[in-house]
Amino acid sequence: MKIIACYNIKGGVGKTATAVNLAYLASHEGARTLVMDLDPQGAASFYFRVKPKIKGGLKTLMDGKQSLDELIKGTDYANLDLIPADFSFRNMDLFLEKAKNQRGNYENCSRILMSTMTLHFWIVRPVFH
């Protein structure tokens, strides 16, 4: 799997805009594409006019009980789907730190999605320690 990072520590330089537009171009070329908006600011979700809200919030996303597939929202564009942001994602770093084994669940879920999607775009918030 190839990972392409749109990376800059400065805010407002267009990281999210780049990722969202790359995702659109990929879907336009026929790739089944998923944008995972893991940034609690929810900018990518706003791009697609999807409410940045997940029922059950971060816990639902991370505990692996509910399939990630059920959280997906279709966008205005064919082949381009989104898992919207949620305000609770602001605690993601603390959540992962507290329950390191939860990360395993997260990876399991994304593996399930890999089988149906060709491309993933993850929009995350930088965390500094």
Partner 1 sequence: MNSAVRRMSFVLPVDTRMSDIKNKLTSCMHCEELHIHVLQRTYFDSFDWRIYCAGGVIEEESGNDGFTLRWREFVSNEIYGNTSINNTVRFAWDLPDCALRERLEPILEMRALLPLLRMNCKVHGLIVLNKDKKTVARLGIEENRILGSTKFKPRKLPAILYVESVKGYDTVFKEVLQVINQQLALKVDDQGMVQRAMAAVELQPGAYSSNLNLKLSAETPIAVVIRNILLRLFEIMKANEWGIRADLDSEFLHEFRVAVRRSRSALGQIRGVLPHSIWDQFSRKFAWLGEITGPTRDLDVYLLNFGAYKNSLPLPVRDDLDPLYYFLGKHRKIEHKKIITYLESARYRKMIAASLAYLKAPLSARSIFPNANRPVLDVANQRIWRMVRRVIREGETINASSPPEDLHELRKSCKKLRYLMEFFQSLYPSDGIKPLIKSLKLLQNQLGEYQDLHVQLAALATFSNQMKSESGATDRTFVAIDIILQTLEQRQSQVRKMFKARFATFAENKNRIAFSKLFKPKIQKEAHAHEDHCLLQH
Give residues in contact with partner 1 (CB under 8 A). 29-30, 48-51, 69-76, 79, 81, 118
Instruction: Tell me whether residue 49 or residue 100 sits nearer to partner 1 (CB atom).
Output: 49
In angstroms, give the least distance from the CB of 70 to partner 1. Answer: 5
Nearer to partner 1, 16 or 75 (CB): 75
16 vs 43: CA distance, rounded Å: 7
Q: How far is the CB of 108 from partner 1 (least distance, A)?
A: 18
Q: What is each CA distance from 103 to 62, 92, 93, in whole angstroms? A: 8, 11, 11
